[in-house]
Amino acid sequence: MTGSKVTVLADGDEVAVAEAAGPDEAFPLESGRQLRPGAKVTAVQDVSGESSAPSPEPAIVQRQPPVLGRVGRRSQLWVGGACFLVDGLVPGATVTASSTGGTYHARSDDGTAIVYRKPLAPREVMEVHQSACGTEGPIKHFPAPDRLPPGFASPVVERPLAACQTQLSLRQVVDGSAVTIERRTLGQTLSGCFPVSRGFVDLETALQENEQIHCAVELPTGSPVASGDFQVGPRPPEPSVVGDLCAGATSVRVTGLVRGQRVSVLQDGVELGFLEAPGSTFDIPVPPLTAGAAVQIGYVLCGASGTTQRKWTVGPAPTSLPRPVIGGPLFECAGVVRVTNLRAGSRVQVTSDVLGGAPLGEAYATASEVDVAVAPLLIAEDHVSAVQSGCGQTSQPAQAQPVRRLGTLPRPVVQTPLTDGGRAVRVIQALPGALLDLYVSDLWSGSAIAGAPTASVPLFETLPGLRIGDKVRVRESICDTTSDSETVPVSPVPPTVRFTAVLHGQPQRGHTVTIDRGETVTLFWRNENSDSNVLDPGGHRVGIDGQQPESPTSTTTYKMTATHAGVSRSASITVNVNMPAPPPPPPPPPPPTATASAIDVTNCHVERRTVNIWQRDRTAGGAWTNLGSLPAQYDQSGNCPDGSPFVVNLQDGHQYEFAAVDPENGNCGGRSDPNAADYVGDCSRSNLGVVQGSRTAPHRPWQVS
């Protein structure tokens, strides 16, 4: 708390006492005091007669390293740049940068340091090293600065700007440039050098609603570029808790804070303590949380106090935290260590055997893996482990991984293909922990620290995406060694073709559709990343998306071809057309109807059985009529027919049908009536076709066999 008396303790012994001038501060040790390796450092504060509890998570003092390592570089160096950021330092070390432009010093409180200097000259190479505990570290040669091209950056103030803010967040700032903030309403002007592209500006007084903020950035080239005027909006929304809460947790991560505002954590309405927020997101230390309790955030902003409407419920603690895994391999001078197998929301610490088991760095895990920045940079022959803590528990340490010496390094490889419009370059065969600088057509275009052998380097925010013809390479830097990849050209992104057919209002699947002749099918297309779109047959140039009805008279294949920068992709749809069936041939002429004046029936049944003679007069529409029975007509010698036929006289002009029924057939079921539905077949011994009666025609014989 601003104005509080802060006492810093090492293993319970007082080593520093001072009044806090802000929510976070570095305190010098009392005269004659030194921190001992392995000591646990905590702090308490007293304000208005009230004393805080000691820090719940002590910091462990690192053992003096056997040798001081080289420093790391986090800033891109531009001609005219007036400051730069160094990392990977021993906490408390002094960094020295020497060149033809002079010698400059800075002190590291947390393993990083900003070095302020006069503007860098072309081809100026700095020699940078650290010193601590009476020991000088080896020199690292920083690269000569690049020339900044016109229009490289357009710095902006992060929105929304809210009343009561006491800090501005800027991004897209050129490393090493001078930033000036004018609050014209209040007559205040703030200025300073930004060592990296993102940073904060602390304000003397809080922002006021509707206030106008003017931000100007002087680029390292010396040309001023105004990023514009920004209007301050109303007060920000209430703060919120990040992630889930669990029983036993000794910190609550809160975001949406304003630097310097008073914040407290309430559990079931009881305040667990209060503090001043050092930034927009902060892990607030608390006594162990209770399962099932409701947590709220109390805050004071612009003189008004409030409590979040939302409540966060404390969940149960897990039975245990998984053992972390150190991603490898590890090399000396690496600036980060990748840790996996984490529980989101846990606090991760990377530890060093050489430094007495003390942490090299720590991070908040937002996912199952995190890259932890380390200070100092990794030391050869060390063994590095990691633990995660949260929910009142601490995991087993990760299996320690050795730190290797560099030796002969493979060149990094830019993964291909690189396609136009891309905003990141993937690098394989990278050295974990190394700095990767991306160059596009020899212009520095972004950087990243590789957390693993495969890494992604994003383009600087203001730069356009990769373009066809760009030449891309990556420079890898670690210790005092650099290695460039092969240069890779950017290839065009093949266009994407989406081509479908719709029939009767229904999209058709696949690449074929069948219609009847005369029907209409509608072709739909929606292409992406294409400069030319052609529909065949016919070679018609069409828009990048559209539709067209088609009524082919025969089977036709339609092809959509999209082209971008000489690269083509196509898709086809075949419309099968069902042709109408030809008309059936005319029926054959009916056979001539037989004529007779009478039917002469004889019975030569092979089994010598009696048959019944049935007749139907079709002209009269009558039913079947039994004309009588006719015994088999065999003589004693077996000749047939023997005797007179059974004569049926026909009426002139009438048409008749005749059937001879075998009533003794076992399959007839005892029926002898052709009116029965099943008389046809075995029951019907013989049938005579249609006969037309004619008195002038002769008799027609019909022999039943």
Over residues 548-606, the pLDDT tens digits come to 999 999 999 999 999 988 889 999 999 999 988 777 877 766 666 788 888 888 888 88
CATH superfamily entry for domain 240-315: Immunoglobulins (2.60.40.10)
Q: Give the three-state DSSP class for 650.
A: coil
Query: Which H/E stretch holds residue 266?
Result: strand 262-267
Cα-only R_g, the chain:
49
φ/ψ bin of 502: left (φ > 0), alpha (ψ from -120 to 50), beta (otherwise): beta
Whether 704 has a pLDDT exceeding 90, the answer reads no
Query: Which H/E stretch holds residue 180?
Result: strand 177-183
Q: Using CA of residue 335, residue 340, residue 346, residue 351, what is the dihedral sign?
A: negative
In order of 72, 87, 110, 473, the CA distances from 90 in angstroms are: 11, 9, 8, 32
CATH superfamily entry for domain 499-578: Immunoglobulins (2.60.40.10)
Whether 184 has a pLDDT exceeding 90, the answer reads no
**Residue 666 DSSP class:** G
Query: 156-231: which CATH number, 3.30.1390, 1.10.3470, 1.10.260, 2.60.40?
Result: 2.60.40
- Is the model more confident about 216 or about 245? 245
φ/ψ of residue 667, rounded to 5: -80, -5
Cα maximum dimension of the chain: 156
What is the separation of C-alpha 611 from the centre of its chain, rounded to a whole number of angstroms? 90
Q: How many CB atoms lie within 10 A of CB 540?
A: 10
Contact 379, 332 (CB under 8 A): yes
In tens, the pLDDT along 220-249 reads 666 556 567 888 888 888 999 998 999 999
Whether 352 has a pLDDT exceeding 90, the answer reads yes
Place of tokens 């409030």: 306
Q: What distance in Å separates the CA atoms of residue 490 and residue 334, rounded to the nearest whole number?
A: 30
pLDDT, mean of residues 610-621: 85
In tens, the pLDDT along 195-213 reads 998 888 888 888 998 898 8
| Contacts for 509 with CB less than 8 Å, ≥ 6 apart | none
Q: Give the three-state DSSP class for 667.
A: helix
Region of poorest pLDDT, from 605-609, 610-614, 664-668: 664-668
Contact 267, 255 (CB under 8 A): no
pLDDT at 677: 46
72-141, what's its fold? Immunoglobulin-like (2.60.40)
Tokens of 143: 């690269």
Q: Torsion angle, CA of 460/466/467/469, rounded to 10 degrees?
A: 100
Q: Give the three-state DSSP class for 406.
A: coil
Contact 228, 159 (CB under 8 A): no
Average pLDDT of every residue of the chain: 89
Please report the DSSP string for 517-562 in residue order: TT--EEEEEE-BS-SEEEEETTTEE--SEEEEEE--SS-EEEEEEE
For the chain, the distance separating the N- and C-terminal CA atoms, rounded to the nearest angstrom, is: 127
Q: Give the three-state DSSP class for 46.
A: strand
pLDDT at 696: 87
- Of 3, 76, 16, 81, the closest CA to residue 46 belongs to 3
Q: What distance in Å separates the CA atoms of residue 367 and residue 615, rounded to the nearest whole number?
A: 98
| Contacts for 114 with CB less than 8 Å, ≥ 6 apart | 83, 84, 85, 86, 106, 193, 195
Count of CA atoms in the C-beta half-sphere (13 A) of 346: 31
| Contacts for 197 with CB less than 8 Å, ≥ 6 apart | 153, 171, 172, 173, 174, 175, 460, 461
- Is the model more confident about 359 or about 620? 359
Domain 325-404 sits in CATH at 2.60.40
pLDDT at 331: 95
Task: Tell me which amino acid residue 650 is.
Answer: L
Q: Return the percentage of the chain with pLDDT > 90, whole number.
A: 55
The whole-model pTM stands at 0.73
In tens, the pLDDT along 418-473 reads 888 899 999 999 999 999 999 999 999 999 999 999 999 999 988 999 998 899 99
Query: 413-491: which CATH number, 2.40.128, 3.40.50, 2.40.50, 2.60.40?
Result: 2.60.40
In the structure, what pLDDT confidence band is assigned to residue 172 with cuts at 50, 70 and 90?
A: confident
| Contacts for 143 with CB less than 8 Å, ≥ 6 apart | 77, 125, 477, 482
Domain with CATH 2.60.40.10 in the chain: 240-315, 499-578
In the structure, what pLDDT confidence band is assigned to residue 373 with cuts at 50, 70 and 90?
A: very high
- Of 78, 258, 80, the closest CA to residue 169 belongs to 258
Contact 374, 385 (CB under 8 A): no
Q: Give the three-state DSSP class for 345.
A: coil
- Structural domain 594-704, CATH architecture: Sandwich (2.60)
